């Protein structure tokens, strides 16, 4: 029957994509265990590995709580108090997302060269990553309406106690989700930590690779890194809990009354201003300064060529990622089945894999089995697709959810066949979200550094690569134009995310 063969096609496609998404994990695991348990134990139980573990742990232990505190407090000030200019603050607090973390590290290190080491790493990552917490918490604070707070007040609680006991518990999933993102980014971070000369697993793997490609050593480190990522993922699942946070019962949505800040207004404004100055103004001013210092450092046509290469890769990668995410997203929206459950878990796990692990796995595979593919555009784009598949999936799913099965059924009972119903009903509904997903992925690719360093074809230069080679040679002036273009290209990202907060309902 045509209907079932069609859905079988979609199912097969989704299963293949899921296999592709876990491929890096499998390759790294197999590679790491190839030397036998003895080699693995000898390698892993060295002081060096212990030191990497301590470094990584230290960074997570400081940056994650710091981003939670800064992000949540800022979100509460913007969304729930009578802070003047809340709309402007919302934009300014999301804007650091447009500055790639390694660009902001470059700004700080060129401002204060002595800032290397743990403190510099923690400061820069906190400033670069707090929007990951700010974004979901602010979005949720807008959705939660004030009725529960009012109920708590009428039961005799003061305003602070009411917030603590009704709002804070319900923010848990948003805070926990944001913190997960911060932790995973810390595990995957290469650029910032390399600049700050602070060694973690990712930087160690990259160095191992640069020194000489050793399958086993690299894969052993990578598999520890992957395990750490999975551990973080598990911790988050437990921390998030599964209590109901949505409002119970029907009735029109009503916004919450804003809390008057009173005498705290000036301190609140000042601390937000300091935050924005550190996270946004310092990087932008430093880029501008270096642009002015070295106007002749980069030829215009070089910049244009590199920018075009980057845009081309971003569009290609965005397209492939969106296409690959489509069957899975469609299947997941069709309700529960064994495969959709597996698919959901796989995407979830894949979302935790750092770029370095994915890239290393693809390098290993192609060097071993498909030499001609090594360092080709195709392989690079495939790595991007594996890396950003979960991101595309989120947008696609929400887009397809905008066209619930009832609408497809209505179309079919009006005589439209399956594909026709998809084109006339589902696609028009889903188009904005599909486009958003595509843009998000393309923008992420535009500033991707780690996987690109490992996989880019010889001679091909992206903005991130060009910036990286210039700044590694301490030629800050030559790096500035590339940084400026990356920031400029990332502005739409910030605007998209801002809209996401505003429209969340």
| One residue of 409, 423, 472, 502 binding other proteins per CB under 8 A | 409
Residue in 10, 265, 424, 492 binding other proteins, rule: CB under 8 A: 424
Q: Which of 369, 415, 458, 459 binds other proteins (CB under 8 A)?
A: 415
Give the nearer residue to other proteins in terms of CB position, either 426 or 456: 426
CA distance 132 to 93: 10
Q: Which residues contact 287 (CB under 8 A, 6 or more apart)?
A: 103, 107, 480, 483, 484, 487
Q: Minimum CB separation from other proteins for residue 4, in Å?
A: 10
Min CB(112)–other proteins separation in Å: 53
Residue 96 CB, nearest approach to other proteins (Å): 35
Q: Could you tell me the two tokens for 120? A: 């510099």
Tell me the DSSP string of 195-263: HTT---HHHHHHHHHHH---HHHHHHHHHHHHHHHHHHHHHHHHHH-----SPPS-S---PPPPBP-GG
Residue 291 or 427: the one with the smaller Cβ distance to other proteins is 427
Interface with other proteins, residue 407, by CB under 8 A: yes
Binding mask 1-40 for other proteins (x = CB under 8 A): x-x-------------------------------------
Distance between the two ends of the chain, CA-based, in angstroms?
40
Give residue 409's Cα distance to chain centre. 36
Collapsing DSSP to helix, strand or coil, 121 comes out as helix
In the bound state with other proteins, the residue whose beta carbon lies nearer, of 18 and 403, is 403
Nearest approach in angstroms of CB 255 to other proteins is 20
Cα separation, 278 vs 272, in Å, equals: 10
**What is the C-alpha to C-alpha distance for residues 62 and 88, in angstroms, rounded to an integer?**
29
Stretch that binds other proteins, among 51-59, 271-279, 300-308, 423-431 (CB under 8 A): 423-431
CA distance linking residue 30 with residue 423, whole number of Å: 43
CB of 1: closest distance to other proteins in angstroms? 7
User: Among 316-324, 329-337, 425-433, 460-468, which window interacts with other proteins (CB under 8 A)?
Assistant: 425-433
Instruction: Quickly count: other Cβ atoms within 10 Å of residue 41's Cβ.
Output: 9
Among 335, 413, 459, 505, binds other proteins (CB under 8 A): 413
- Looking at the Cβ atoms of 1 and 248, the one nearer to other proteins is 1
Phi, psi of 99 (to 5 degrees): -105, 110
Count of CA atoms in the C-beta half-sphere (13 A) of 181: 21
Minimum distance, C-beta of residue 416 to other proteins, in the bound complex (Å): 6
CA dist., res. 336 & res. 470, Å (int): 50
Residues 426-445 that bind other proteins (CB under 8 A): 428-429
Question: How near is the Cβ of 10 to other proteins at its closest, in Å?
Answer: 17
Count of residues interacting with other proteins (CB under 8 A): 18
Tell the smallest beta-carbon distance from residue 417 to other proteins (Å).
5
Of 365, 416, 435, 495, the one binding other proteins by CB under 8 A: 416
Q: Cα separations (Å) of 180 from 40, 63, 131, 386?
A: 29, 12, 13, 19
- Report angle CA 231, 441, 398 to the nearest 5 degrees: 80
Dihedral of CA atoms 246, 126, 97, 321 in degrees, nearest 10, equals -70
Nearer to other proteins, 154 or 413 (CB): 413
> Taking the complex as a whole, how short is the minimal distance between the CB of residue 400 and other proteins, in angstroms?
14
CB of 3 to other proteins, least distance (A): 6
For 339, 356, 379, 437, the CA distances from 32, given in Å and listed in that order, are 29, 15, 22, 34
Q: Can you tell me which of 411, 478, 486, 501 binds other proteins, judged by CB under 8 A?
A: 411
Both tokens assigned to 15: 């299963």
Q: Which residues of 342-355 are buried (b: 16+ CB within 10 A; e: fewer)?
A: ebbebbebbbbbbb
- Rounded least distance, CB 406 to other proteins, Å: 5
Q: Which of 412, 439, 469, 492 binds other proteins (CB under 8 A)?
A: 412
Binding site for other proteins (CB under 8 A): 1, 3, 406-407, 409-417, 421, 424-425, 428-429
């Amino acid at each position: 029957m045509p209907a079932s063969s069609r859905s079988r096609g979609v199912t097969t496609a989704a299963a293949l994509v899921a296999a592709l998404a876990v491929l890096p994990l499998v390759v790294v695991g197999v590679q790491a265990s190839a030397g036998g348990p003895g080699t693995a134990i000898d390698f892993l139980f060295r002081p060096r590995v212990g030191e990497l573990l301590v470094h990584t742990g230290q960074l997570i232990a400081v940056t994650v709580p710091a981003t939670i505190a800064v992000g949540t407090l800022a979100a509460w000030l913007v969304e729930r108090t009578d802070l003047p200019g809340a709309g402007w603050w919302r934009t300014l607090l999301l804007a650091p997302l447009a500055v790639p973390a390694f660009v902001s590290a470059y700004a700080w290190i060129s401002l204060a060269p002595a800032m290397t080491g743990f403190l510099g790493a923690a400061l820069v990552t906190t400033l670069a990553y707090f929007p990951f917490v700010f974004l979901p918490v602010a979005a949720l604070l807008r959705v939660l309406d004030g009725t529960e707070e009012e109920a708590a007040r009428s039961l005799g609680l003061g305003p602070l106690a009411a917030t603590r006991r009704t709002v804070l518990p319900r923010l848990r999933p948003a805070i926990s989700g944001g913190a997960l993102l911060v932790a995973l980014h810390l595990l995957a971070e290469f650029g910032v930590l390399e600049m700050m000369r602070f060694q973690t697993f990712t930087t160690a793997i990259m160095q191992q690779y640069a020194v000489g490609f050793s399958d086993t050593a690299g894969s052993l480190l990578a598999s520890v890194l992957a395990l750490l990522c999975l551990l973080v993922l598990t911790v988050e699942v437990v921390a998030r809990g599964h209590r109901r946070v949505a409002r119970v019962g029907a009735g029109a949505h009503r916004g919450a009354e804003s809390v008057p800040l009173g005498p705290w207004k000036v301190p609140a404004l000042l601390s937000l201003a300091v935050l924005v100055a550190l996270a946004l103004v310092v990087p932008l001013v430093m880029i501008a300064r270096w642009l002015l210092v070295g106007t002749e450092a980069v030829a215009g046509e070089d910049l244009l060529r590199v920018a075009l290469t980057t845009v081309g890769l971003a569009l290609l990668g965005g397209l492939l990622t969106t296409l690959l995410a489509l069957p899975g997203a469609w299947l997941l929206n069709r309700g529960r089945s064994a495969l959709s459950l597996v698919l959901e878990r796989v995407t979830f796990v894949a979302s935790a894999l750092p770029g370095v692990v994915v890239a290393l796995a693809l390098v290993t595979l192609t060097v071993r089995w498909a030499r001609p593919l090594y360092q080709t555009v195709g392989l690079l784009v495939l790595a991007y697709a594996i890396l950003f598949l979960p991101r595309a999936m989120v947008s696609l799913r929400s887009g397809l959810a905008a066209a619930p099965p009832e609408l497809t059924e209505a179309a079919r009972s009006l005589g439209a066949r399956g594909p026709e119903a998809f084109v006339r009903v589902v696609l028009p509904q889903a188009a904005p979200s599909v486009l958003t997903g595509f843009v998000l992925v393309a923008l992420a690719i535009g500033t991707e550094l780690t996987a690109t360093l490992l996989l880019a074809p010889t001679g091909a230069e992206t903005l991130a690569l060009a910036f990286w080679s210039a700044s590694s040679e301490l030629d800050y002036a030559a790096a500035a134009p590339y940084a400026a273009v990356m920031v400029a290209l990332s502005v739409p990202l910030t605007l998209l995310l801002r809209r996401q907060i505003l429209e969340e309902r």
